[in-house]
Structure 1
Amino acid sequence: MKLFTAPPYLLILFCLVISVKVFANEQYVIHHSTFIGGEGTDDCDTVTIDHSGNTLLGCHSTSRYLANKKLNRFNHKGGMDAFVIKINKHSNNIDFITQLGGDEWDGVQGLATDASGNIYAVGSTYSSNFPTSANAQQIKFAGKSDAFLVKLNQHGEIIWSTLFGGAEDEDGRNLVLDDHGNIHIIGRTNSKDLTVTEDAIQPDLAGQTDAFIASFTPQGRLLFSSYLGGKGYDKGFDIKLLSSGKKAIVGSTDSIDFPVKNAIYHHPFGQEDMFVVLLNDKNNQIEFATYIGGAGIDTGVSIIIDSQDNILAVGQTHSPNMSGGHHIQKKRLKGKSDVFIVKINSKTHTLTNLDYLGGSGIDRPRNALVDDSDNIIIIGQTNSEALHLNDSVTAKPLGIWGDIKQYFKTYFNDNYDNGFIIKLDNNGSQVLLSAVLGGDKTDVFEGAVIDKHNMLTVTGLSNSHNFETIKPLQSEFKGGRFDIILMKIKL
């Protein structure tokens, strides 16, 4: 790859001009950017902010040490270890690293905190010796892989830890807390003997793989559990709560008999479709369930609930003909895959908007959320040379590299992905921000959270030696396959 070159004095002047251009405006400013990692593979799938403003990261690693090995104890146990990191909001230093795992692959994939500062982590484990509590709902490892759910106190000490799984594979993908402190998790299973409750929506495995939903008390006891799926492959990816307490779920399915109800679309469209499901707050039964898709592969990734209880579902599409009737925007699939977003009225169960977002390559969303103004923020990874999102809007660029066109001249290589951030209005029709950030190799944004001060925190992975750092905990890439990256951006 041939990089842009210029005389040293011009590069210095260029950097000074960019610094003034970007940092003179308090909107869309990167306040903090850092690596965290060792000599192995380090990744952070999820992030949240606790009640006091501290940052919690849910990660996994094969490294022998992380960050400062003298101050932050981390002893690699084998395979891939799961762990939770707490970063103090005052000192910007690591308060603790709590390991969660055994001898094989373990990873945290969902994270939440309560008003007391307790931390809840959900994930997947292949370790038969994953540590569980003596009074856990499920003490023993049951299959090839199990989901796990762990509660930590604000100091990183384990309060309780339980497995959840049957004789085959389970994957715990995400979780959400309700007003009573109950924990609701979503994932996938292909075990016929997964523990289900008497009030289950679906008591038995219907196909090769089903989604599952499970609810636990703050003490870790099982309240509700059910399969959800048809005769094919069904995977649950994300779960959120409406203000009424109803549960909204998103995932993907290739089943021709997914249990739809009051659906927008009653039949599948292609190889794989997004599903969106709404469970009532009384007995967890299906109030609404629909297919969303086109002729290709369409995967539901993240679900958002705005202040009006609209459901905003975000996914990745390979379909040139996503179904949306008159609600679909004029733009169509631009590359091999695009981001897509649908907006559904949760009261009328009607589709109010659907749109593609993407460039000429592969664009993959990894997470989505809304800010206090109900603007939509989507993060992920892209190898599109121009993540051009809306023909009628010139999105405001973000970046310590300044102008995005100059960034691509200097760094872009379509053999690697870069992280992206998209900010849209609530209808998904106006792009407020489009940013592609990274170095000369692979950079992926995976976890995202926004705090009460409109500070966006994103996490993920990178192996770019020239990934820009600002006030870092760790300024350099430590080697191995990837290091964790963490960025804080004022929106």
Structure 2
Amino acid sequence: MFKMRYLTIFILSILSTSLSAQLQSKWDETYGSTGNDVANSAIILNDGNYLIVGFTDSKGSGKKDGWAVKINTSGELIWDEVYGGAQDDEIMDVVEMPNGDIAFTGYTQSIGAGKSDFWLILADENGKEKWSKAYGGKQDDIASKITLGIDGKLMLSGNTKSVGAGNMDFWMIKIDQDSQGKEHGALLWKRNIGGKNADFIADVKQSIIDSTYYVLGTTTSFGNGSGDAYLIRVLEDRGMIKGNKFFGGNEYEYGNSFSFTSENGFFIVGASMSNSNGIFDGWILRLNSEFDSYYSKNFGGKKDDKFTSVIKSGNIYYVAGYTASKGEGDFDGWIMAITEQGIPIWEMTLGDLKTDKFEKILATKDGGFLLCGITTSKGKGRSDIWVVNLNK
């Protein structure tokens, strides 16, 4: 098991001290073989088990293949499946359908019209592929998020070089996954968003209040600095833009993940170079429902530190990422608990002497947390999928 470094930054109450002091690594496991095996995302399935997705070049038929790994609550492997053809194919995100089927998205170079295309795979509950389809033009089109809409349809979101005004645009396509015959995965509508330079999608969530999609990413086309976090309000019907705003200083800011707040605002996490202590700092930004800022705060040391994922549990936000400023190795997995007022309660690093990063944090049904990412500190290959279960 990895070495763990635990730091209490600020204690709000005796209860906070008690709860944080009991949090520990219940188990950590790696999954992979002799090559590169990387986790991009994870979900908790309705049966209580976990599904991790990413890519592998240790197995499969191509240079790298999409990879899905299902494990139980003890980290034991239930099944794994590879997806793809002779070229590079990667799974970036996943959702579970109401009937237990699994929908994956990412990009494929093995099928489709361009260099890379949006890729949708529908599989059964055991990961066996039912069908797949590519969407895109003649250039690079890379899906990074999949959202199951309130209307039961799928939204694929990512970036495109095939359409739009700039070097890379946001691209959202709405899919009818239930269409039959040759029209499996029929396209309902598509929308590109961006300016003259590169703009990248990182996170998409739909509001249960008004069905609006909120899209977070990074823009180099608009804003104050070299790159700014960019939040957009997109209507469910045909993807019309209802509002947008960029956030950042005179350097570079990434928007990587967000959670809705209790008053229907936004708690955004990412990385900031403006006013940083090092190269990049972990960055949090809290907004109200009209995109007005309550506060913006940096966390980190003299090196490179980034937040990649956030969840809300009760009135606390749990943020994951990686840090080169703290911990044991080149990069360590990094977790922080933060109040709605932006006050850190505790932070923790996990890792060893090489590179260990968290890309996703989930709240488990037993009150703990599941974190997934990559490690080069342990495992069988050059990099392995790394999953950690934290519990009290």
**TM-score, normalization: structure 1?**
0.62
Give the Å deviation of 1:369.
3.0
The residue identity in structure 1 corresponding to 2:28 is I
- For residues 137 and 217 of structure 2, the distance between their equivalents in structure 1, rounded to whole angstroms, comes to 20
- Computed over aligned residues only, the root mean square deviation of the Cα atoms, in angstroms, reads 2.4
- For residues 247 and 292 of structure 1, the distance between their equivalents in structure 2, rounded to whole angstroms, comes to 19
Return structure 1 stretches of 4+ with deviation > 6 angstroms.
Answer: 29-33
Q: Secondary structure at the match of 2:171?
A: strand
- For residues 439 and 30 of structure 1, the distance between their equivalents in structure 2, rounded to whole angstroms, comes to 24
Deviations 1:355-380 (A, max 9, x none): 11111101112222324543222211
Give the Å deviation of 1:115.
3.5
Provide the aligned length of Structure 1 versus Structure 2.
326
Flag the 1:455–1:116 CA change in 2: closer, same or farther, 3 A: farther
Give the Å deviation of 1:105.
1.1
Deviations 1:366-416 (A, max 9, x none): 22232454322221111012xxxxxxxxxxxxxxxxxxxxxx6xxx24xx1
* Residue matched to 2:138: 231
Pick aligned residue for 1:487 from 313, 333, 336: 336
Flag the 1:107–1:222 CA change in 2: closer, same or farther, 3 A: same
Flag the 1:217–1:359 CA change in 2: closer, same or farther, 3 A: same
Pick aligned residue for 2:169 from 273, 296, 301: 273
Q: Does 1:240 align with 2:130?
A: no
- For residues 30 and 165 of structure 1, the distance between their equivalents in structure 2, rounded to whole angstroms, comes to 48
Pick aligned residue for 1:445 from 307, 310, 314: 307
Q: Does 1:313 align with 2:215?
A: yes
Q: Secondary structure at the match of 1:336?
A: coil
- For residues 435 and 250 of structure 1, the distance between their equivalents in structure 2, rounded to whole angstroms, comes to 28
Q: Is the 8 A contact 1:31 1:490 kept in 2?
A: no
Q: Secondary structure at the match of 2:34?
A: coil
Q: Is the 8 A contact 2:173 2:191 kept in 1?
A: yes
Q: Is the 8 A contact 1:147 1:171 kept in 2?
A: yes
Pick aligned residue for 2:106 from 166, 181, 187: 187
Q: Does 1:144 align with 2:63?
A: yes
Flag the 1:309–1:239 CA change in 2: closer, same or farther, 3 A: same
- For residues 239 and 254 of structure 2, the distance between their equivalents in structure 1, rounded to whole angstroms, comes to 27
Flag the 1:423–1:223 CA change in 2: closer, same or farther, 3 A: farther
- For residues 160 and 369 of structure 1, the distance between their equivalents in structure 2, rounded to whole angstroms, comes to 30
Give the Å deviation of 1:23.
3.7
- For residues 124 and 19 of structure 2, the distance between their equivalents in structure 1, rounded to whole angstroms, comes to 36
Q: Is the 8 A contact 1:249 1:303 kept in 2?
A: no
Q: Is the 8 A contact 1:110 1:175 kept in 2?
A: yes
Q: Is the 8 A contact 2:190 2:239 kept in 1?
A: no
Give the Å deviation of 1:280.
3.0
The residue identity in structure 2 corresponding to 1:460 is G
Q: Does 1:347 align with 2:234?
A: no
* Residue matched to 2:189: 288
Pick aligned residue for 2:328 from 452, 475, 478: 478
Q: Secondary structure at the match of 2:211?
A: coil
Give the Å deviation of 1:91.
4.5
Give the Å deviation of 1:32.
8.7
Give the Å deviation of 1:422.
1.5
Q: Does 1:462 align with 2:323?
A: yes
Deviations 1:128-187 (A, max 9, x none): 3xxxxxxxxxxxx11111110111122211111100111011121111223223222111
- For residues 364 and 120 of structure 1, the distance between their equivalents in structure 2, rounded to whole angstroms, comes to 27
Pick aligned residue for 2:39 from 100, 108, 112: 108
Q: Secondary structure at the match of 1:488?
A: strand
* Residue matched to 1:425: 288
* Residue matched to 2:198: 297
Flag the 1:361–1:208 CA change in 2: closer, same or farther, 3 A: same
* Residue matched to 2:124: 217
Flag the 1:365–1:91 CA change in 2: closer, same or farther, 3 A: same
Flag the 1:209–1:441 CA change in 2: closer, same or farther, 3 A: same
Pick aligned residue for 1:123 from 28, 35, 54: 54
Structure 1, unpaired ranges of 5+: 1-17, 34-89, 129-140, 193-204, 257-267, 321-332, 386-407, 466-476
Q: Is the 8 A contact 2:318 2:335 kept in 1?
A: yes
Flag the 1:97–1:143 CA change in 2: closer, same or farther, 3 A: same
Give the Å deviation of 1:456.
1.7
Structure 2, unpaired ranges of 5+: 1-8, 180-184, 341-392
Pick aligned residue for 1:434 from 296, 300, 303: 296
**TM-score, normalization: structure 2?**
0.77
Higher strand proportion, which one? 2
Structure showing greater Rg:
1
Flag the 1:106–1:255 CA change in 2: closer, same or farther, 3 A: same
* Residue matched to 2:83: 164
- For residues 149 and 17 of structure 2, the distance between their equivalents in structure 1, rounded to whole angstroms, comes to 31
* Residue matched to 1:38: none
Flag the 1:269–1:167 CA change in 2: closer, same or farther, 3 A: same
